Structure 1
């Protein structure tokens, strides 16, 4: 699915593709709460957060991003820990990533919703992100 290339994130207030939502996968209920508190502290109360689990794995990202705010909140997710950002500005994307690091939660896979990925299933996206991470770790091993 991926062509193995990455686009650098810039510093812009121009909104990226999709509705203003964040999809989190693989988060415990406590981690979901911490993530929501972090977005609120960043002043992003207008951004919906959806907690996706195994029940959404075969859904397209378009179907998942259309779910109402709070879907899956409080339910544990067995999926790989992933954060999918939709409709945020590049500046907000950077703020969310820095805020997440400050939470000290386990490492996550990160993606931004695109015109092409909106048709992928959630499980296909996660599988692709895992493969990309493994390829990068082989190319740039951590000492």
Structure 2
């Protein structure tokens, strides 16, 4: 791990990251949710549970939310900050997911992968930390 607290992720198609296979999606409108699901289908990521966090989920632990059924919160615009927390994906799938998302031209967002520490955090605490990290990194540029 680097002094910034981040560690480089490789591109292994076999090395699976921590947690259940899921994507916790925060801050998306209903229409953007559909766009994201279509992208996941196009890139053969349909076995990855897409869980859409709602305002009512902000005080729940991230690990608990990643255990919800696929489609939770779908169709409800999310008031949360924009982010995706990926869990249980391979390094290659992480890279593919992020590249495909960028290709869609969706608004800027934060990205995270689940860790044993972050799965215990309340969702809003994690989203706040991700914003602080993004600000710190952009001020170093």
TM-score by length of 1: 0.94
The 1-side partners of 2:9 and 2:31 are apart by 29
Partner SS state of residue 24, structure 1: strand
Partner SS state of residue 79, structure 2: coil
The 2-side partners of 1:133 and 1:53 are apart by 22
Are residue 21 (structure 1) and residue 36 (structure 2) matched? no
- Unaligned runs of 5+ residues in structure 2 are none
| Aligned positions of 1:90-129 closer than 5 A | 90-129=91-130
The 1-side partners of 2:120 and 2:112 are apart by 14
| Aligned positions of 1:1-143 closer than 5 A | 4-12=4-12, 13-140=14-141
Per the TM alignment, residue 86 of structure 1 is displaced from its structure 2 partner at its CA by 0.4
Partner SS state of residue 67, structure 1: coil
- Unaligned runs of 5+ residues in structure 1 are none
* Root-mean-square deviation over aligned CA pairs: 0.9
The 2-side partners of 1:32 and 1:4 are apart by 31
Per the TM alignment, residue 58 of structure 1 is displaced from its structure 2 partner at its CA by 0.3
The 2-side partners of 1:78 and 1:4 are apart by 29
- How many equivalent pairs are there? 138
TM-score by length of 2: 0.95
Partner SS state of residue 107, structure 1: coil
Runs of 4+ in structure 1 off by over 4 angstroms are none
